[in-house]
Amino acid sequence: MTVPKITLTIAGNDASGGAGIAADLKTFAEFGTYGIAALTTIATMDPDNNWRHGVTAIDAQVVADQLKTATAGPKISALKTGMLPNVAVINVIADSIKQNNLENIVIDPVMVCKGEDEVLNPENADALRDVLTPLATVVTPNLFEAGQLSGLGIIHDLETMKNAAKAIFDLGAKNVVIKGGKGLIGAKAIDLFYDGTEFTVLETEKIEPAYNHGAGCTFAAAVTAGLAKGLSPKEAVVKAKDFVTEAISSGFQYNQFVGPVFHSGYRLNRQDSI
C-alpha cells in the first residue's frame, strides 16, 4: 500500500471553478498529491449584477471541526490557506497549525478578488500579517497584498517589490514570493522570490489575452504540492511559475465577466510530467 502525499487547502469556494478550493484541488491532483479541503468561505458572483462578489463566512467552529477531520488521517505533507473571512477563522487556523505541528505552510494572503476594489475585511489584513505570515514557509502575496503586508502601499517597480519582499520576510515568513504577474508595466510577467539572502526574479512573456482568474490560487497550490513532494521552496516556486504559465495559456472565456485559467494546461500542453 502506498500512501500518497496529503495536501490540504483551507480556502473558499468559487462556484465558477477558477479560484479557491476548486483551483487548489485540481492543481493538487495534477501534481499527483491527495488533495483535501477545509472550507472557510463561499464566494458568489452575480451575473445579473455585473458579477458582483458576495462573501459568506463559514462559522469558525465549523472550520475548526473540519481541521480536526483533516488532521485525523495520514500526516499532512503541506497546506495552503486562501480566502479567509474573518479574524476568528484566521486564529482557528493558526491554532491548528501549531497544535498539530504542521509543516510546509503556504500562506496566500488573499485580501481582494480580481476586479473588486474592496478589501475583504480591513482587520483581516492585519491578522494575515501578524498571525499567519510568521507561520509561513512561503507567503505568496500579489502586488496589492505585498503593498499591504509591507506597508509600502502601491508597488510599481521591481525595486519596490524587493523592498516589500524584505519587509515581509522580516515579519517572520521563511520565504516570500511576490506574484507580480502582469501587474508591472512592460512585456514581462515578473514574480520575485526571496529567501532572506538572495532574490530570484522569475520572468516570462506576458500572455494576451490573459484568462487568468484563479492564477494566484493555482500558483500557491502548485507551490504547496511541490513542497509536499520534497522540493525546496525555491524549486517549488520555479515549478509553480511554469505550471501557472501553462494554466494561463490554456485559460478560456467562461462568460462575459470572467476567464479562468485551466488547471490541466501543463499536462495537456507539455510532454514532460510535473
Residue 35 C-beta: closest distance to ligand PXL, Å:
15
Residue 168 C-beta: closest distance to ligand PXL, Å:
19
Residue 217 C-beta: closest distance to ligand PXL, Å:
5
Between 155 and 217, name the residue whose CB sits nearer to ligand PXL. Answer: 217
User: What single DSSP character describes residue 10?
Assistant: E
Per the CB < 8 A criterion, the answer to whether 34 and 28 are in contact is yes
Residue 44 C-beta: closest distance to ligand PXL, Å:
9
Kindly report the CA angle at 84 between 28 and 259, in degrees rounded to 5? Answer: 60
In 3-state terms, the chain is what percent helix, strand and coil (to 5)? 40, 20, 40
Per the CB < 8 A criterion, the answer to whether 32 and 102 are in contact is no
Smallest CA-to-CA distance from 102 within 73, 70, 127, 79 is with 79
Residue 110 C-beta: closest distance to ligand PXL, Å:
5
- What is the C-alpha to C-alpha distance for residues 182 and 143, in angstroms, rounded to an integer? 10
Between 166 and 210, name the residue whose CB sits nearer to ligand PXL. Answer: 210
Between 67 and 231, name the residue whose CB sits nearer to ligand PXL. Answer: 67
- Between strands 176-178 and 188-194, the pairing is antiparallel
Residue 141 C-beta: closest distance to ligand PXL, Å:
12
Between 106 and 110, name the residue whose CB sits nearer to ligand PXL. Answer: 110
Between 11 and 237, name the residue whose CB sits nearer to ligand PXL. Answer: 11
Q: Which residue is nearest to ligand PXL (CB)?
A: 20
Between 6 and 45, name the residue whose CB sits nearer to ligand PXL. Answer: 45
Between 115 and 153, name the residue whose CB sits nearer to ligand PXL. Answer: 115
**Contacts of residue 5, Cβ cutoff 8 Å, sequence gap at least 6:** 32, 33, 34, 77, 78, 225, 228, 229
- What is the C-alpha to C-alpha distance for residues 188 and 180, in angstroms, rounded to an integer? 10
Residue 175 C-beta: closest distance to ligand PXL, Å:
21
Which residues contribute to the site for ligand PXL (CB under 6 A)?
A: 11-14, 19-20, 43, 82-83, 110, 113-114, 216-217
Beta-carbon count within 10 A of 40 CB = 29
- Give the DSSP per-residue string, 67-100: HHHHTTSSPEEEEEE----SHHHHHHHHHHHHHT
